[in-house]
Structures are given as C-alpha cells and as structure tokens.
Amino acid sequence: MSRPTRVVFLGATSGMGEALARKMAREGVSIAVLGRDLKKAEETANDLSVRGAPKTASVKCDLENTERFEEALREAAEGIGGVDTVVISAGLFATQDELEADETLAERLTRINFTNTVVFCEAARKQLGNQGTLCVFSSVAGERGRKPVVIYGASKAGLSAYLEGLDHKFRGSGLKVVTVKPGFVRTPMTEGLDAPPFAGEPEQVARLVWQGILRGDPVIYAPKPWRAIMGVIRTLPRAVMRRVGF
C-alpha cells in the first residue's frame, strides 16, 4: 500500500473534504490547505495541526482563477516540504431547476466542475511529476444522464471520463488517479434536499476514501451501496429512464 505523507488539499474547509482532511491529520499526514477564503484555509490548517498533522500550510487558491493554480501548488508543496498526493474535493452544486432558470449559473457550474477542475488536475499532475496519487471527487450523478441532474451530472460525467483516461495513461509511470464517486451525502451542499435511502455521512465517506487511496483504487463509490445502485441504473434502457424520475 502507498501511504500519503504530504498532501495538498483543495476543498478541505467543508463537507466531505473537511472530514477526509481530518482523517488524514489523525493518520499523521502533513496537509497544505488550498482555499479561496485564505482566513478559512488558515483556520482549517490550524485545526488539522491540532488533530495530528505534523506540518500544515494554507494557500489562497480559487477554482475560478486558473492562472493561480501552478503558483498555489508550488507554494503549498513548499509549505509542507514536498507533495506526494493531491486531493480535490472542491466544486459547485445547484439543482436542475436552479440551473435551468439561470444560464449564468449553469455556465459557471460546468466551468468550475469540469473545465477548471481539469486544468487544476493538469497542474497537479505536473507538480507531482507523474508520481504519487491524484484523488478527485466526481459524483455518481455522472454515471448516466438522469432527469434531476441533467447539467450537474453532465459536468461530473466529463470529469469522470477525463480522470479515467488520465489513469489509463499515467498509472504505468507511477501516477495513481483515484476517482471518488459519492452518492447523496449529508453536507452543507445538500442541506434542504430530501435524502434518499443509503444517504451517507462525511465521516463515513472519509474512511472509505482513505482506505481506497491506500489501496490505489481507481474508483471509489461512497457509501458502498451506490456501486450496486449505479450498476443497475447503467443497465436500464433509455425508454425506462425516460419514464422514471430518478
């Protein structure tokens, strides 16, 4: 098993990312926190230090500012003495109704979740030197075109396809690409939405992702039942998908 020791983390300040960063800190991992709100990133880094991270750093980085990516990654790596793993759990969510009603929001969401995340991954890959681990949060929403998540799901489908191709191309040279596909998880992002069966908690996802990173799993479904659920959904004919509401 390859064990991370120095992690650069974009998205550690809330939700599943925060839970995973805390898990890593308890495991003795040094963590550099990237965030668009530098004060919040600093607070998160201090919290991770208290929880056991040997070294922490905080660096300003916004997924909407692609010009800053390479510099931010370099600063983060310098702050913790190097990097062997990059984790990206940041992204944007909105409901299908909200996206259909606001073209600007729809454009922003697809740009952040796909285009800018891909650009960040490319910068991270170069920073890692095609070695180590790149762990990126996508979503089960990208597994199949579905009515409730047409636009959000498309942004995650594109990201998942990119990550799969990246893994095929670079795993042989030493870069393990780990794609996390959460189902519904109770976080601030999903607050106010009706939770379906098998809804997960951030800490549960964090444990599964940590174990998957150690094994170098190319894909991690969290919570676990979502692997079987999406396996069934992928087999349904289009005629059935048009009739059902999920």
Place of tokens 């929880």: 51
pLDDT digits (tens, 9 = 90+) for 118-176: 999 999 999 999 999 999 999 999 999 999 999 999 999 999 999 999 999 999 999 99
Other beta carbons within 10 Å of 237? 8
How is the chain split into domains, by residue range? 6-243
Other beta carbons within 10 Å of 187? 19
Give yes or no for a contact between 137 and 16, defined as CB atoms under 8 angstroms apart. yes
CATH number for region 6-243: 3.40.50.720
Whether the predicted model's global pTM rises above the 0.85 cut: yes
Task: Using DSSP, state whether 13 is helix, strand or coil.
Answer: coil
Among the residue ranges 52-56, 150-154, 177-181, 201-205, the one predicted with the least confidence is: 201-205
- In the structure, what pLDDT confidence band is assigned to residue 193 with cuts at 50, 70 and 90? low
Span between the terminal Cα atoms of the chain, in Å? 37
Give yes or no for a contact between 86 and 12, defined as CB atoms under 8 angstroms apart. no
